[in-house]
Amino acid sequence: RTRRMPVGSGCRLLSKFLHGTKKYTADGLLGSETDTEDASGRVVATAAYQHITLPVFTALLHTRFSGSIQQTPPVYSALKRAGVRASDLARQGQHVEMQPRRVEVYSIVCTRFEPPQFSLGETTRTLTQTHRHIGTQIHRHIYRH
């Protein structure tokens, strides 16, 4: 039996054939923000994280990151603006405005919580950026109350 893996433009066609839910995992680091919003970037801001407990963290996941939610994709992504990858434009120093998108998160769990490190497991229809948004939401969540 021969299996084929699409490459290049063939990858875009996969979405027409792959319906249903998908499972993703993500690792994050509390207390740090990078200029690329991932581990490849330069740290541009730090914050205390020692006050964040597992119960607060999991409650936040379930109240703010499950169901139908709005998320803004990262500038450093493969999404295109005017036919050019947003990440290429950003690396050229151009300002790139990313628009929020609606995503459906069917389930989200914290699979590891060893501050400052954490891991998430998500079941969704599309790739989400939950790990990127958690830092901002935790800060807001902690200090609003």
- 2 pLDDT exceeds 60? no
Q: What is the largest CA-CA distance in the chain?
A: 59
Q: How far apart are CA 130 and CA 66, in angstroms?
A: 10
Look at residue 143 in the predicted model and tell me its pLDDT: 36
Query: In terms of DSSP bridges, do strands 101-114 and 117-124 run parallel, antiparallel, or are they unpaired?
Result: antiparallel
Look at residue 109 in the predicted model and tell me its pLDDT: 93
In the sheet that 22-29 helps form, which strands lie side by side, from edge to edge? 22-29, 117-124, 101-114, 67-71
Tell me which residue of 3, 2, 142, 120 sits closest to 66, measured CA to CA: 120
